[in-house]
Structure 1
């Protein structure tokens, strides 16, 4: 998938579709295992909150994945969001901002 134009899969979507559903675990069970509130996990799954490095590392351990798996998924999504923001806001370099002021 070309993540420059198409939104990459989020950590939350991977958690839900690749782990919780196939393993028949609930969000409440995973929240308890992660020692986070169900509300925080819901926010991660729905894409309204990014996963922290600590949470990503713990998720990897729980699901027996390489320790940087979820960190890399989050980073890929963050890069896509940065590209979308840059395209939307037309940010300018500091020399142009200061010259205009």
Structure 2
């Protein structure tokens, strides 16, 4: 039996920057500067991700996955969830007007 999620997510997903800020940095004892240096990125771009002003790119996902021993998909899926949530909130009224097609 398949149960479909027809209501969608009711809360905004956690931004990967918040995951880094609240879970990964404290667990690994890293400062923002240490994280940026370890990843080979600028401190300013890392701060933008941590402040949730910038998305995790595929390139950053590869770097984070290597550093923390997880997968790039982990980081990209987290970012994708945030992006879809934000898009669904911004155009939900327009999407609601679309009539689904019936199979011929």
Shorter-chain TM-score: what band? 0.7 to 0.9
2:69 partner SS: coil
After superposition, give the CA deviation of every residue in 1:66-95 in whole Å (9 maximum; x if it has no partner): 23110111111111011111137x3777xx
1:68 partner SS: helix
Q: TM-score, normalized by length of structure 2? A: 0.78
Q: TM-score, normalized by length of structure 1? A: 0.80
Report what 2:15 is aligned to: 10
Report what 1:20 is aligned to: 25
After superposition, give the CA deviation of every residue in 1:32-65 in whole Å (9 maximum; x if it has no partner): 1111111111110111111110101210110000
Structure 1, unaligned runs of 5 or more = 94-101
Contact 1:3 1:80 (8 Å CA) reproduced: no
Runs ≥4 residues deviating over 6 A: none
In the comparison of the two structures, how many residue pairs are matched?
91
Structure 2, unaligned runs of 5 or more = 1-6, 99-104
